[in-house]
């Protein structure tokens, strides 16, 4: 199911092959979970995508973004209790070369696909990749279309027998997974790398920090290296489709993350949002 040119469609749709999203990766996207026809954390998803387009100089009105998400979620909700809604905005077409058009005409489309209820809160394993997250890049804080590093790292992780790739930044600090933010329990506190370490400001990252504070759990945003992560009491990932995913291993180091009291408290608080 697609939303394109202001309406729902089964496709196919016509697409300009000169679109800069296709030729240069000049665009941003968002992935949200729809539960029973409604977008979880809808306002945060819409606001983040709208802010990203404005930052890059091809602003898309939040109302247009919301219309695509809501229409797809409602339609998918008729037959699927859980659905992934991906919304993409590009700068649109332009002349050859890197220079953006003086008056961009952004293009918005969205797609939807069913999601199994077994995905949320499922444990996974991580493999540290040698590919580094560039914390100096403005793109590090945006969900841009340039995901080749994550694609290659994910392939290598799977080939090595792991579920996801773990990225460090150019300074050797732990940053994130290929498609998720990372949290660790260090010194009895819930710690996550700061945004300045090349971390995407994830919707669930912010949600977990907020809920932890409400539950009285100690939190911190600070840098740490891979050795410190290997010594953590527990590790988990967060993203909009997985919710909170306990990490059972990072390479050869095993973790009993799912049973840690800080993790179980957060899972119990969050689970209701992800239950079909």
List CB contacts of 63: < 8 A, sequence separation 6 or more. none
Q: Are strands 243-250 and 124-133 parallel, antiparallel or unpaired?
A: parallel
- Res. 11: pLDDT tops 90: no
**CA dihedral (1, 47, 143, 212) positive or negative:** negative
- The pTM score is 0.96
Q: Domains (ranges, CATH) in the chain?
A: 2-114 (3.30.470.10), 124-274 (3.20.10.10)
Tokens of 268: 């119990």
What percentage of the chain carries pLDDT values higher than 90? 96
Tell me the mean pLDDT in the region 173-186.
98
* Higher pLDDT, residue 210 or 11: 210
Between CA 6 and CA 4 the distance in angstroms is 5
The tens digit of pLDDT for each residue in 127-151 reads 999 999 999 999 999 999 999 999 9
* Average pLDDT of the chain, as a whole number: 97
Between CA 105 and CA 108 the distance in angstroms is 10
The tens digit of pLDDT for each residue in 52-103 reads 999 999 999 999 999 999 999 999 999 999 999 999 999 999 989 999 999 9
């Amino acid at each position: 199911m697609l939303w394109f040119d202001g309406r729902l469609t089964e496709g196919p749709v016509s697409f300009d092959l000169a679109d800069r999203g296709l030729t240069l990766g000049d665009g941003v996207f968002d992935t949200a979970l729809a539960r029973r026809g409604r977008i979880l954390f809808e306002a945060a998803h819409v606001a983040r995508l709208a802010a990203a387009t404005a930052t890059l100089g091809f602003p898309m009105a939040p109302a247009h973004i919301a219309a695509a998400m809501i229409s797809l979620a409602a339609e998918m909700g008729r037959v699927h209790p859980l659905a992934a809604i991906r919304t993409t905005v590009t700068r649109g077409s332009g002349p050859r070369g890197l220079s953006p058009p003086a008056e961009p005409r952004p293009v918005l489309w969205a797609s939807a696909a069913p999601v199994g209820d077994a995905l949320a809160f499922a444990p996974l394993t991580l493999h540290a990749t040698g590919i580094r997250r560039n914390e100096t890049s403005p793109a590090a804080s945006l969900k841009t279309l340039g995901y080749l590093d994550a694609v290659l790292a994910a392939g290598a992780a799977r080939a090595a027998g792991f579920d996801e790739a773990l990225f460090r930044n150019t300074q050797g600090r732990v940053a994130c997974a290929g498609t998720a933010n990372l949290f660790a329990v260090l010194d009895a506190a819930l710690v996550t790398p700061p945004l300045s370490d090349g971390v995407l400001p994830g919707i669930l990252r912010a949600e977990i920090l907020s809920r932890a504070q409400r539950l009285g759990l100690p939190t911190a945003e600070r840098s740490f290296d891979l050795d410190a992560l290997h010594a953590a009491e527990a590790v988990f990932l967060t993203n909009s489709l997985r919710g909170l995913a306990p990490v059972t291993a990072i390479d050869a180091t095993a973790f009993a993350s799912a049973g840690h009291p800080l993790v179980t408290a957060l899972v119990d608080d969050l689970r209701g949002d992800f239950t079909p």
